[in-house]
Amino acid sequence: MDHNDPSLALGKKTTYTDQYDPALLYPIPRCHKRHELGLTDDLPFDGVDIWNAYELSWLSPSGKPVVAMGEFRVPCTSPKLIESKSLKLYLNSLNQSCFADFATVGRTLADDLSTAVEAPVEVKLFTVNEQTDHFTNQLPGDCIDDLDISVDNYELNPSLLSEAANHDAIITKTLHSHLLRSNCLITSQPDWGSIVIRYHGPRIDPEALLRYLISFRRHNEFHEQCIERIFCDLLHYCHPEQLTVYARYTRRGGLDINPFRSNFETTVANLRLPRQ
């Protein structure tokens, strides 16, 4: 990704358009960051990036505004992801554009997003009064945030996991934390998230895991890239037979991004947390 690309809106003063324009979408190849992790086309995980859009609106044929919420599921096998500000600008471009009905908007979004990421994107739209999965949930498993640990490292350090695995104890466990914080790769703005780690294999020391997660506090990378890095580091240092890493990030600009990666689970619920 070229940070100086004039078509990249992130981190720059932007003129907002309210007329439908799919050219506003800015795809970013996944391969560059995956190469840093030693990943090839034969990925050690499957999964999806779940985007929730809370500021979605267009005009009906009579000119009356319609408001909605959207859920977009981008497969992690897609060659590209979409830069978040460009998605916000694209969705804003619907605001003064007329569409026949919800179905037409849904097909338009699915076509445009699928073209951008070069893979099928699943789109669901909801009215604000519909009963959906967007109501507040709690993460599964044990929270590790109250562990009494001392921390003095806030720079990414995967070696904190080097002695985290106890190979004498093979267990199935689900842990979660709300202390994940990383930063935007371009603007360095903080990205706040909660994370679930579910595994079967050698017991992972929760204190070491928490220190490792906290070490992302000054790390600059997109949401999807951070979660793939966490998955690969846990696989490398802790050797679980089965592993799921699922993060729920807080929203920015009416969007939240929630990457899910697993080598044994195929479906995931779109859980909305209190901070979302």
**Residue in 49, 76, 112, 191 annotated catalytic:** 191
- Spatial neighbors of 13 by CB under 8 A, at least 6 apart, are none
Q: Which residues of 185-209 are buried (b: 16+ CB within 10 A; e: fewer)?
A: bbeeeebbbbbbbbbebbbbbbebb
- Spatial neighbors of 262 by CB under 8 A, at least 6 apart, are 45, 46, 47, 198, 243, 244, 245, 246, 268
Q: Where are the alpha helices (DSSP H) in the chain?
A: 31-36, 84-92, 102-117, 206-214, 223-238
Q: Is 191 marked active-site?
A: yes
HSE-up (13 A, CA, CB side) for residue 129: 1
**Residue in 49, 76, 112, 184 annotated catalytic:** 184
Catalytic residues, which ones?
Answer: 184, 191
